[in-house]
Amino acid sequence: MISTLKVDDLRFEVRWSPRRKTLQLTVDRGGELLISAPEGCDPALLEDFVREKRFWLYTKLAEKEALRRPVSPKEFVSGEGFPYLGRSYRLLLVEDQDVPLRLERGRFRLLRGEAPRGREHFVAWYSDRARRWLAPRVELLAARLGVAARGLDVRDLGFRWGSCGHDGTVYFHWTTILLPARIVEYVVVHELAHLHKRHHTPEFWQRVERAMPDWEARRRWLAEHGMAFVAL
């Protein structure tokens, strides 16, 4: 029986057990990958299992890497960069404007007196902009998938980019609007596909592929780079 398994750029230690009935993947604290399997299991089944779970694996590896990297918190001072739809915009503190925060002429402009509440203003701005940006795209992509979302909401979803409610409402983390547009569209398609299938079955991924043929490249980009956009 093999002791290691390599699938694309992922390498696993294989642990066989006569008592195990199912396959299990583990990403340990150091980022090493383990796959536990019943004795006698066909290695081809291990590879298929890994390919099915690749997005979860890349997400976990990205989270581990992000936790290892020192994250410099954003400072609400002139010159600090803040992302929006994949681009970074510099912040300029201003003395007077009619709203606390706006994006104008390629710069975020924040009232100097509101800098202590900068994060609150950015979260509100991102959330509002996400709702307005996502609404027409949810409608367009839902039509492509042949579904109809009951509603759309933007909120803090913890470590999830999006979710699909049992009532047909689709939810998105406010930080999705920080990502490049093509990656946000993948998140939208992913959640809308759950209106067809609640779980990540082969049929689920087939529906995603019909709506977005390059979904796998977008999903991998999100797993590898998404955590870099949530420093706020």
Provide the pLDDT confidence category of residue 231 given band limits of 50, 70 and 90.
Answer: low
Please give the CATH superfamily to which domain 122-229 belongs. Answer: Metalloproteases ("zincins"), catalytic domain (3.30.2010.10)
- Per-residue confidence (pLDDT) for residue 26, from 0 to 100: 85
Tokens representing 139 are: 């409608």
- Nearest-angstrom CA–CA distance, 173 and 165: 14
- Per-residue confidence (pLDDT) for residue 27, from 0 to 100: 80
Tokens representing 202 are: 């082969």
pLDDT tens-digit map of 78-88: 999 999 999 99
- Nearest-angstrom CA–CA distance, 95 and 112: 6
pLDDT tens-digit map of 109-126: 999 999 999 999 999 999
- Nearest-angstrom CA–CA distance, 80 and 9: 35
pLDDT tens-digit map of 151-163: 999 999 887 899 9
pLDDT of 65 above 70:
no
What is the rounded average pLDDT of the residues 38-64? 83
- Per-residue confidence (pLDDT) for residue 29, from 0 to 100: 56
Closest CA to 45 of 18, 11, 9, 7: 7
Residues of the chain with CATH 3.30.2010.10: 122-229
Q: How many residues are listed for the chain in this entry?
A: 232
pLDDT of 69 above 90:
no
DSSP SS3 for 87: strand
- Exposed, middle or buried, 173 (CB in 10 Å: 0-12/13-18/19+)? buried
pLDDT of 66 above 70:
no
Gap between the terminal Cα atoms of the chain:
47
